[in-house]
Chains A and B, each alone.
Chain A
C-alpha cells in the first residue's frame, strides 16, 4: 500500500517527459496510475465493510514514535476512492484541456504528485506522517495555483493560499506534538483507544484549538475562507480537483478522523458546530451576486465545507452518517460542475453566467451531465444529492444543541445553493442563446466524459443508494469510533425532513428565476465585501512588510559606530549588574605595595592613552600610542617578563612605523561628531573601563593556584631541554598555539599583499579594472 502511493511521486517526476512524447494521450496514460489505484482500493471494499482494517507500517524514527503507517478503514477508503477516482478523471480531462499549452507536462506531473500526497494523507495513521503529506499538499497547491505564473494575480493568490494554510499547518504541528505528549503516542488509532484519558488531559484544550486552527484554515472555514475564491486563479482542472474534491476536504477529513479521539466534548461540539454553521451560511450568502461560474462554485464549496464541518461538530451518529453521504455526493457533483465550467470556458470563451445560455443543442453531452450534477446539488430526487440533503436535515433536526438555529441556517443556505446549482448547471444550457465570444461546439470526448461519468454516478448512487449503505456505514463507523449503520433510502415517508427539502427546492427555484434581480441587489452591497477577512489579510500582510522594513532600517542603520555602541551597551548591561551582585571584592590577593618606578610606568601608560585620545593630530596620537606601548613593555620588564618585554618593544616599534607609513596622505576628517554623542560615548567608555578594572580586582579575591605552571617550571629543563621556561612553553608545551600564531601572520601578510597589489593594479590599468565575480 505504501509503495503504491509513494510511487506516485516517481510517476510525477516522469510526467513532463512522458507528456512530450505522448502528445494527445498523455492525460489518459497518466490517468492509468490513479485508475489502477482506484480499482485496487475498490477491491478492498468488501473487506473493509466487513470490519477489517488492512494496514502497513514503515518505522521512520522509532525513538520518537514516528513511522509511516497506513491504515485503511471505512473513512480512509471512501476518501481514497474519491481521490484516485476523481484524480483519474481530472487527469484525462486536463490532458485535453491544456492541449497545446507548453507547460502541460509539468502541470500533469504536479497533479499526479498532488494525488499521491492526498492519498497518503487520508491513509495515514501516524500524525506526523499525516502532517508531512498535509504540508506537501499545501506546497503543491501553491505551485498549482500559481501555474499561470505570468499573471501577478495568480502568484498573489498562490501565496495567499500557501500562507493561510501554511500558518494553519504550523498550528497543526504544535497541536499534534501536544497530542502526542498528552496521549503518549502519535498513532491515531491508539489515541482513539485512549480517548477518555485524552479528553480529560490538561493539554486537551490547547491541542484541540491548535488542531482546529489547522483544519479550519485548510477547509476554508470562516474567517479563513477567503483564500478559496482567490485560488480560482488556478487552471480549471486544478480547481476541480483540489478546491472542490480533495484538498479542501482534508481539514474536514482530519476532524472526522480525529473525532473518536477528540470529539464529543463540549468544546468540540460548540466550536466546531458554530464555525461550520457560520461558514455554511457565509459561503451561501457570498455566492449571491457572483457572475463567474468558478467563483459561484468556490463560494458554494465554502458553504458545503461548512455543512460538513457542522455535521462533524454535532457528532451524533446521524450527523456523521449524513456527513459521509454528503462527502460523496458533493465530490461527485462539484467536480462535475467545475469540469463543466471549464468546458464552457474552453468552448464558449467565457465563464460569465450572465452571458451563457441556450447551449444545450450545441453541447448536448456536456449539458446533460451538467444538469445531472446541478440537480444533485439542488437536491432533486432521485439523485444522490437528494438523499444526502435529507440526511443532513434529519441530523440537523435531531442535533443538540440548538437545532432551532441549525435548521434555519441549513435550510437557508441550501436555498441559495439550489439557486447556485441551477445558475451553473442549468442556466447556461437553457433559455435564450447568450452572447459569447466564440461559437461553441461540443467539447472533445475526453472532456465531457468526466462530468458525464460523475453525473451518471450521482444518479446511479441516488437510485441504488440502498446498496451503498454498508460502504458508507463503514465510513461513518470509522468517524464515530463505533459501528453504526447509515440507512440510505430514497423514500423516508412523509416527514418534516421531506417538507424541508420541498421548501428548499421551491424557494431555491424561485431564487434562481429571480437571479438577475437578486444579482443586482447583491451588487449594491459589493462595497461591503471590501471589508472582511480578505481585506484584513491584505492589510495585515502589508502591515507586516512595513514593520519588517522599519525593523530592517533600524537594524542596518549602516553605522559602524552604532553597532559598536550596541555591543558596548550589551556588555555593560550584562556584565555590570553581574559583577556588582556576584563579584567578590576585597582583592585579597592583590599586590599591595607600590614601587616608585612602577607607579611612574603605570602613569606613563595612562598618559599615553589619554594623549592618544585628546591628540589633535594623527602623529601625536601615534606618539601617545607608542608611549603606552613602551610603558607596558617596561612594566613587563619590571615584573619579571624579559622575553615578553623584548617582544613588546619590537612589536611596538614596528607598529609605530607602520602607523606612520600608512597614515600619511590619508584624507582628513572634516567634521566631528556632535557633543552630545561624544558625551554619550564618553559615558559608555567610562563604564567599560570601570567594568574591566572591577573584573581585574574581583579576580584577585583569592590566591591563584595555577594548576599548570608548576609542571612547566619543573619539566622545562629535564624533559624539554630548555632553560627559558617561557620560550619552552611557546615552542614545546604549547607549540600548537605558536603554529596558529605563525599562520595568522602568514595570512596577514598575504592579505596585505593582496590589498596593496590590487591597488597597484588599479593604478596601472585604470579603466580596465574588472569587477566581475
Chain B
C-alpha cells in the first residue's frame, strides 16, 4: 500500500472529521484546518517528487488487485494537480481567518472545505470510473453546501441553479458509467482502455464517450453548458469563490484530459474538431460576457469560462506541445484565478463594494493591494514574463505548428480582450478617483497580514512560474509525453499482462 497515494485522501478526511467535532470551538477548528491544509500540502509535494522521474505510482485500495479493486494512480499530471489544489486550499484557509464571517465558520466552513479537498484529490488520483463519480459527488456535495452557506438570498437562488445543473451532469455521468460497464464489462480506466482497443472505434462506445464528454463538459463549464457558473460563483464569500474558481472546473478539465487521452482516444477525427470548435466558442463567449460586467466577481467568473476554452484548445490540438500547453495552463490558472478572487475579497474590504461604479482610488489607498491585483491580472492577460504568457505561447505555438491558424487567431484576439477587461478593472477600481459616497476602510495591521499575505504569496508563485518557465515547461512536457502514451499507465496499473491488450 503506497502511503503517498492515500495521504491526499486521508489527511483532508481526518481534518474534516476534526472540524466537525470542533464545530463549537472556532479557534481549535481553525487551527485544525490550518494544520490539515499544511499536511495536505506536504503530502502532495511528497507525492509529486516521487513522480518526477517518470514513475507512475500505483496502489490498490484494500490490496485487491487491479482491475477488480479500486486503483489509485499518480502520474506527473495527477500529482501536479493535487499539489496545486493543496496550494490553493492553503491560501484559502489562510485568508478565511479574516476574510470569512464567524457565522459561516460555525456553520461548518472548515470541515466542508476539507471534504471538498478530499473529493478533489480523490478525483485526481482515482483510476476507476465509478470511483471518479463518487469523488465528484463528494466534491459537488461539499460545494453545494458551501455555495449556500450563509443563506443569503443571492446564494440560495444562485445555489439552486448551481445544484440543478450539476446534478444533471452527475446523472449523465452515472448513466455513462453504467453504459460503459454494459459495453466493456469493466470500470477500471486502464482495463477499459485495453478492452476498448479490441472493439471497433466507431461503435456504441463512441456514443458512451460522448456522454462522458457532455457530463465533464458541464463540470468544466464549456460552451454551451456553462451558464450555471456566472450565475452562482459570485454569490458566496470570496474565499469560497476562490476555491471554486480555482479548482472545481479544473477537475472537469482533468477528467476530460484523462479520459480523452487514456480511455476515449480512438475517435480523434470526430472529437478533435468538436473540441476545437467548443474551445473557440467558449473562449469568445466567456470574454464577451466578462467585458459587459460591472461587478468584479462577475467579470472574474466569466473569465473562468473564457480560460477554460484555452485548456480545451490544447486538448483538441492533441499534439505533445499542445498538451504540455494545457497542463501548463491548468496549473497556472488554478493559482492565478484563485488569487484574483481572493484579491476581489480584499478589494471589497478596502473599497467597500464589488461594483466598479462604486469603487475608485484604490491605488492611492493601498499600493500593496494594487500590486497584489496587478500580478495575477497581467498574468491572466498573458503578459510576459508572467506565467500566463508562457501558457498562451505554448498553445499558440502548438496551434500554428499544427496548422490551425484560425483558432490561434481567436485565442490571440480573446487574449487582447482579456487584457482590456483586466485594465478596465484596474482603471475603474484603482486609477479613477473614488466616487462620492463610497465608504472605504483601510486595512488594519493584522488584516494586512492575513488578507494580503496569502494573495501576495500566490502572486509570488505566479512570478516564480513565469521566471522559471523552463522548469515548469520541462515538467509539463514530460507530463504530456506520459499522457500521450497510455500504454505506460496501463502497464503500471495492470502489470505486464495489461500491456498488449
Residues of A at the B interface (CB closer than 8 Å) are 59-64, 66, 128, 131-132, 135-136, 139, 142, 146, 149-150, 152, 155, 158-159, 162-163, 166-167, 170-171, 173-174, 177-178, 180-181, 206, 544-545, 547-549, 551-553, 555-556, 558, 560, 562-564, 566-567, 570-571, 574-575, 578-579, 582-584, 692, 695-696, 698-701, 704-708, 711-712, 715, 732-737, 739-741, 743-744, 746-748, 750-751, 753-755, 757-759, 761-762, 770-773
Contact = CB atoms under 8 A, between A and B. Distances in A.
A558 B423 contact: no
A159 B231 contact: no
A772 B152 CA distance: 10
B62 interface: yes
A176 B155 CA distance: 47
A750 B165 contact: no
Contacts of B122: 740
Given A131-B384, A575-B211, A578-B206, 20 more contacts: A173-B393, A177-B393, A177-B397, A545-B291, A551-B289, A555-B285, A555-B289, A567-B225, A583-B204, A695-B204, A698-B207, A732-B62, A735-B61, A736-B131, A740-B131, A740-B134, A746-B115, A747-B142, A751-B145, A770-B103
Given A563-B161, A735-B62, A578 B207 contact: yes
Contact of A570 (B225, B363, B473): B225
Contact of B289 (A552, A696, A759): A552
B238 interface: yes
B200 to A, nearest CB: 9
B59 to A, nearest CB: 11
B237 interface: yes
Contacts of B151: 754-755, 758-759, 762
8 contacts: A62-B470, A549-B292, A551-B288, A579-B204, A582-B204, A706-B186, A708-B188, A740-B131
A715 B477 CA distance: 42
A712 B62 CA distance: 14
B462 interface: no
Nearest to B228: A563
A576 B228 CA distance: 24
A300 B64 CA distance: 80
B166 to A, nearest CB: 11
A142 B145 CA distance: 43
Chain A CB count within 10 A is highest, among B115, B134, B214, for: B134
Contact of B141 (A158, A178, A695, A744): A744
Contacts of B134: 736-737, 740-741, 744
A99 B320 CA distance: 56
A112 to B, nearest CB: 17
Contacts, number: 284
Contacts of A755: 148, 151
A587 to B, nearest CB: 11
Interface in B146-188: 148-152, 160-161, 164-165, 168, 172, 175, 179, 181-188
B432 interface: yes
B293 A552 contact: yes
A758 B473 contact: no
A723 B161 CA distance: 44
B182 A699 contact: yes
Nearest to B409: A174
A705 B415 CA distance: 50
B141 A747 contact: yes
Main secondary structure of the interface of B (DSSP, over half): helix
B7 interface: no
A155 B427 contact: yes
B353 to A, nearest CB: 12
A36 to B, nearest CB: 25
Main secondary structure of the interface of A (DSSP, over half): helix
B323 to A, nearest CB: 15
A560 B160 CA distance: 9
B138 A743 contact: yes
A711 B60 CA distance: 15
A732 B237 CA distance: 40
A575 B400 contact: no
Given A61-B470, A131-B384, A566-B224, A736 B432 contact: no
Residue among B182, B204, B431 with the most chain A CB within 10 A?
Answer: B204
A96 to B, nearest CB: 24
Contacts of A741: 134, 137
B161 to A, nearest CB: 5
B102 to A, nearest CB: 9
Contacts of A740: 119, 122, 131, 134-135, 137-138
Contacts of A564: 164-165, 168
A520 B282 CA distance: 53
Contacts of B206: 578, 582
A583 B202 CA distance: 9
Contact of A692 (B175, B218, B348, B396): B175
A210 B124 CA distance: 41
B161 A560 contact: yes
Interface in B189-235: 191, 195, 202-204, 206-208, 210-211, 213-214, 218, 224-225, 227-228, 230-231
B477 to A, nearest CB: 7
Contact of B150 (A552, A737, A758): A758
Given A583-B207, A758-B107, A552 B385 contact: no
A707 B67 contact: yes
A571 B172 contact: yes
Contacts of B409: 174
Interface string B375-407: 000100001110001000100110011000100
A711 B433 CA distance: 71
A757 B148 CA distance: 13
Interface string B426-467: 010001110000000000000000000000000000000000
Given A556-B230, A750-B145, A737 B191 contact: no
Contacts of A171: 412
B474 interface: yes
Given A706-B186, A770-B101, A556 B231 contact: yes
Contact of B396 (A173, A699, A746): A173
B141 A584 contact: no
A174 B408 contact: yes
Given A548-B292, A695-B179, A771 B431 contact: no
Nearest to A149: B431
Contact of A181 (B100, B289, B401): B401
Contacts of B211: 575, 695
A750 B477 contact: no
B69 A177 contact: no
Given A567-B168, A584-B204, A734-B69, A773 B224 contact: no
B108 interface: yes
A582 B238 contact: no
B70 interface: yes
Contacts of A135: 383-384, 389
B288 A773 contact: no
B289 A570 contact: no
B276 interface: no
Given A578-B207, A743-B13, A750 B111 contact: yes
B293 to A, nearest CB: 7
A708 B182 contact: no
A762 B150 CA distance: 11
A265 B243 CA distance: 54
